[in-house]
Structure 1
Amino acid sequence: MLEDIEDGTAAATRLAGGTPLHSTLDVADPADWLALDAGVREVAWHRPEFLPGWEHSAPLPADLTQLGESRLALALCHRDGRIRQEAVRQSVRYPGLLPLVVIRCADWVGPVREHARKLLREALNVDSALDLAPLILRVGRRDRGAFGVDVLGQILRQASHGQLAVLFADPDRIVRRFAYRLAIEGQLLHPAELARAAAGDQDTVVQDLCATAALTALGDEDAYEGVLPPLLSARNPRTRSAGVTALRRAGRAEQAEPFLSDRSALVRACARYVVRQQGVDPAVWYRERCTTPDDPDLPPGAVIGLAECGNRADAGLLRLLLVHPAAGVRARAVAGLRALDCADAEQLRPLLDDPAAGVVRETAAALLPSAKELPADWLLERTSTARPRHVRVGAFRLLDARGGTVALRAAVGLFQDPDMKLRTWAAQSVQRWHPSPDGRGGDAEVGELLDQSRHLFSDHMLADASGKPGWTAETAPRSRTLLSTRPPVALVTARLPW
């Protein structure tokens, strides 16, 4: 497989030496053809000695009719439009060069484009269209690439279900989307087949496309038997939500109740809509399941579901679940209290030491508004390497939000942390740190901490700071001048290390 232009240039060199096309690249891989196209121009422009007779100052090849398949492939990719145009005419002798003709259909030179399009329209049939579909659709993303996609659609509308099935399994999601759209347009798939495709495909566009088409095509009660089970058991929440919503139309609203505790908020919301149509109050359903704090079978989705449709009076039930043996339930209880705006800092503080990372993550998020009220020494103690990584991350998240000298102290202390992501986050915290408005000027600890962080700042920044009016080497250490200027936002943006 040709991974990039460098591989394409190597392939071009081999073709120039007479190596057969099938031995040079994977003719079934569209990426190889595109790499070859780019690689030939790279060789012809920067290393013309590998293509004798095609140097910048040499005359154009007088006759391409004598070129074999390998050399004609090079001509089809040549930097000179006149050579490409003549090569397109000659390519009819070698059907194996049709992929390069597809690429030339989006050529930036008009005559080359027109000749290639005429040849593609004449040469394309259902079988060759199925083979070339991945390449045509990839070229279709380019400027002037729509022609090939239009022709492909016209040809494949004549294909049968069995022929299009080859494209349903293509690794390129763009190909699968195109194939399913054609199949739905031509009504080639039964609702049950569409439901299975929605449940099995990894692409969200295909999932939505097929799930919607499956439900739209339903016409009688029996058809639901083959459609609803795949949708309701799908891994993807959007597909499950489509199945749950369809339960009302199918007259099976009672089957939506188990989905009230689904792990997905979207599915839970759809389930609540369906059961309400039957006169069931979802809040009552949730309360009944959350009244037993030590129930080992309590699903976490029921806990957060109570917060989603309950009220602040339900916070008492959620607080009882903070000590539930299941980590998922504890995490959702914290998230529910936060959603109801009932998060009590003193009550949630112990959960920052929870053995489950998910619980600590939710606890840190719930405590962020109270970060300045939490004991600084207590938080600093939890950034020690003796603590689990998720505890160190949660504590530092709160310290970073707290700001001031304590945040700088915590960040510098994490420079030696064994976790690379946490070290990176600590470095970024120092880079964007600035003294709090009520902080003391000339704080010796701050100057010492910034001295330990000099490696994070460029010489240009330090020089710029040292050149400020009134600064002298005797009156202010070089690093302490950073206190008079706000460092830029992190030099490298990265996600928080959750």
Structure 2
Amino acid sequence: MTAALLAVGSAADREDAIEALRVLTERPALLLRLDAFIRRESWYSARPAPLLTEADPVALALAASHADGRIRERAVRRMLNQPYPETMPFLVLRTSDWVRQVREPACTGLAVLLHENPLLATPVTVRTALLVNRRRRGAFAHAQLRVPLLDESGTTLSGRLLTAPEPSVRRFVLDTAAQRLRLRDLAVLAESDLDRQVRARAAEAAARQAVWTDQVELLHRLARNRHAEVRITALTGLMRTGSPQRVVPFLDDPSALVRALAREAARRTGTDSLAYYRAAVQAAEPQVGAVGGLAETGSRADGPLLTALLDNPAPQVRVHALRALRSLDAVPVPRVTLLLRDGSTAVVKEAAAALAPSATQLPAGLLWDMLTDPHRPAVRRAGYRLLNRHDRPTALRAALVLSADTHPRLAAQAKTDATTQIRTLASHPWRTRPVPSLNASPAQAAELLALAEQRRTEITEGMVQLLRDLLRMAPGSR
């Protein structure tokens, strides 16, 4: 690979060499691996070091990773004589070099270059510095790249870096110079960026500026954003402006954090949050945020209100009602049992979670029927989860049955569980803890052994033999 790169660099067309470096530095993590590879290769190779001239940027970049520190030093000094944006990542690498004679000129040169031409701080250079910052001597480049962003003329550089496709670069700019960005640009980032952390950082900076400059309308705009991390920051800003009444309408927000802030605003304005939630869940189309709010502020006495929501046609309302009943310890077992075959997969999953503490009270026939449901993996998974809450023979039988399931993930989970259960029951000389007992009746033991024989392909012959030995040694097996 290095030979191919050197061949490109030695060609007459410098543009091709620069393009080769551009492609090479697009992935800084790969660049760090290449740096280590070249160092190992050059240490054991008898090939002479490449001829170092400013006319061959590829040779300079590769020589900067050579095992010989003197060659790395010469490469660094020649790169500084004629800098290219494409060679800056290689220079950043050398700012963390373990040899002082290489590291010091690289650090000094980087500082001078960024002072003379801040636009050399390309997104690739920033990404490389972020990776190098994790090294023992890698903090210099990271700190030095902050300087042009904090300079009076750093607006142009910030604008360029904020358009970088890599979220880590945009986060770096916001962490460094958010206070220097225009409020309008911060608001756009908070509303439209695809990265959650970038949105949160931009929203925080925008809300801070809006509070300082009393731009309440901007806070209202951000409070209507679909992302919770933006809404909570904007609403916090509204609270700081002394307008808690503007936060109260968010009592039924989908975000629990936003609801908590809205309840504090309601407390300050004298609004009864619990009464609001009790009325909201009885509306014709209750919001899931209102259901969650009732779970956070209500008690078991609110169980009937939440149970009524289990008939709501919206699956998300039923899901949140089940979660609320769980959190209030008010699960109506007979009613929730009917939801184990609900048309929504999410409702089936939540119903199984709600019924888990009462699994032994459910009809065994229903759970075994669910485990063999021919159409819906979600129903089989729910049945398996509830059967696992029974005694060891039942749980092992369920795992053996499901280990041949047509759904790959279900089968793999059941196979792992069956193998683990059998191994846990086996005694070994090195085990100091008491070995649990299977406690299987003769009928259960015979059924387990028959199932294991049928599943020898899934759980291996060794596991079948181990289970056979365990059942033979069990009390009452003779």
* Bin for the TM-score computed over the shorter chain: 0.7 to 0.9
Determine the structure 2 residue equivalent to 1:228: 220
How do 1:212-227 and structure 2 match up within 5 A? 212-219=204-211, 223-227=215-219
Determine the structure 1 residue equivalent to 2:145: 152
Determine the structure 2 residue equivalent to 1:469: none
Q: CA deviation at 1:252?
A: 4.2
Gaps of 5+ in 1: 1-9, 49-53, 466-475, 486-498
C-alpha deviations, 1:37-71, integer Å up to 9, x for none? 6336536745x7xxxxx86456x649645983332
Aligned-partner SS, 2:343:
coil
CA distance in structure 2 between the aligned counterparts of 1:43 and 1:120, rounded to whole angstroms: 22
The code of the aligned residue for 2:4 comes to R
C-alpha deviations, 1:359-392, integer Å up to 9, x for none? 1121111111111222222111112242422222
Determine the structure 1 residue equivalent to 2:250: 259
Q: Is the aligned partner of 1:174 residue 2:168?
A: yes
C-alpha deviations, 1:472-497, integer Å up to 9, x for none? xxxx9544235699xxxxxxxxxxxx
**Structure 1 counterpart of 2:261, from 252, 266, 270:** 270
Q: Is the aligned partner of 1:31 residue 2:27?
A: yes
Gaps of 5+ in 2: 10-15, 426-435, 474-478
Q: CA deviation at 1:246?
A: 3.4
CA distance in structure 2 between the aligned counterparts of 1:312 and 1:62, rounded to whole angstroms: 78
CA distance in structure 2 between the aligned counterparts of 1:484 and 1:281, rounded to whole angstroms: 66
Determine the structure 1 residue equivalent to 2:429: none
- Structure with the larger helix share: 2
Retained in 1: the 8 A contact 2:349–2:382? Answer: yes
C-alpha deviations, 1:178-226, integer Å up to 9, x for none? 21133234x3322x54344333334444334333333333457851112
**Structure 1 counterpart of 2:56, from 38, 44, 68:** 68
CA distance in structure 1 between the aligned counterparts of 2:387 and 2:246, rounded to whole angstroms: 47
**Structure 1 counterpart of 2:377, from 366, 383, 389:** 389
How do 1:241-320 and structure 2 match up within 5 A? 241-292=232-283, 295=284, 297-320=285-308
The verdict on how the C-alpha distance between 1:38 and 1:317 changes in structure 2, with shifts beyond 3 A counting, is closer
CA distance in structure 2 between the aligned counterparts of 1:451 and 1:94, rounded to whole angstroms: 74
Q: Is the aligned partner of 1:104 residue 2:106?
A: no
Determine the structure 1 residue equivalent to 2:414: 426
Number of residue pairs the alignment of both structures matches = 447
Retained in 1: the 8 A contact 2:54–2:81? Answer: no
The verdict on how the C-alpha distance between 1:23 and 1:176 changes in structure 2, with shifts beyond 3 A counting, is closer
Q: CA deviation at 1:306?
A: 1.3
**Structure 1 counterpart of 2:79, from 91, 107, 113:** 91
How do 1:350-429 and structure 2 match up within 5 A? 350-429=338-417
CA distance in structure 1 between the aligned counterparts of 2:40 and 2:383, rounded to whole angstroms: 57
The code of the aligned residue for 1:413 comes to V
Aligned-partner SS, 1:341:
coil
Aligned-partner SS, 2:372:
coil
The verdict on how the C-alpha distance between 1:98 and 1:266 changes in structure 2, with shifts beyond 3 A counting, is closer
RMSD of the TM alignment (CA)? 3.1
CA distance in structure 2 between the aligned counterparts of 1:478 and 1:387, rounded to whole angstroms: 33
Q: Is the aligned partner of 1:346 residue 2:334?
A: yes
C-alpha deviations, 1:450-477, integer Å up to 9, x for none? 3445556678xx4xx9xxxxxxxxxx95
Determine the structure 2 residue equivalent to 1:449: 451
Q: CA deviation at 1:29?
A: 4.2
Q: CA deviation at 1:308?
A: 1.3
Deviates more, 1:128-137 or 1:95-104: 128-137
Determine the structure 1 residue equivalent to 2:428: none
The verdict on how the C-alpha distance between 1:109 and 1:320 changes in structure 2, with shifts beyond 3 A counting, is same
CA distance in structure 1 between the aligned counterparts of 2:53 and 2:237, rounded to whole angstroms: 63
CA distance in structure 2 between the aligned counterparts of 1:101 and 1:208, rounded to whole angstroms: 32
**Structure 2 counterpart of 1:198, from 179, 187, 190:** 190
CA distance in structure 1 between the aligned counterparts of 2:239 and 2:38, rounded to whole angstroms: 63
C-alpha deviations, 1:267-324, integer Å up to 9, x for none? 21111111121111111011112235xx2x2212212221211121111111112111
Determine the structure 2 residue equivalent to 1:494: none
The code of the aligned residue for 1:147 comes to F
The code of the aligned residue for 1:449 comes to L
Aligned-partner SS, 1:402:
coil
The code of the aligned residue for 1:259 comes to F
The code of the aligned residue for 1:423 comes to A
C-alpha deviations, 1:401-434, integer Å up to 9, x for none? 3242222222222233232221222112212225
Retained in 2: the 8 A contact 1:304–1:336? Answer: yes
**Structure 2 counterpart of 1:210, from 202, 205, 208:** 202
TM-score (norm. length: structure 2)? 0.83
The code of the aligned residue for 1:137 comes to L
Aligned-partner SS, 2:135:
coil
CA distance in structure 1 between the aligned counterparts of 2:67 and 2:167, rounded to whole angstroms: 32
CA distance in structure 2 between the aligned counterparts of 1:127 and 1:17, rounded to whole angstroms: 29
Deviates more, 1:404-413 or 1:306-315: 404-413
The code of the aligned residue for 1:262 comes to D
How do 1:125-144 and structure 2 match up within 5 A? 125-130=117-122, 132-144=125-137
The code of the aligned residue for 1:233 comes to R
CA distance in structure 2 between the aligned counterparts of 1:66 and 1:155, rounded to whole angstroms: 26
Retained in 2: the 8 A contact 1:105–1:116? Answer: yes
Retained in 2: the 8 A contact 1:30–1:134? Answer: no
Determine the structure 2 residue equivalent to 1:321: 309
**Structure 1 counterpart of 2:37, from 39, 42, 57:** 42
- Seq. identity, %: 34
Retained in 1: the 8 A contact 2:342–2:348? Answer: yes
Retained in 1: the 8 A contact 2:148–2:154? Answer: no
Retained in 2: the 8 A contact 1:129–1:156? Answer: no
**Structure 1 counterpart of 2:110, from 115, 120, 127:** 120
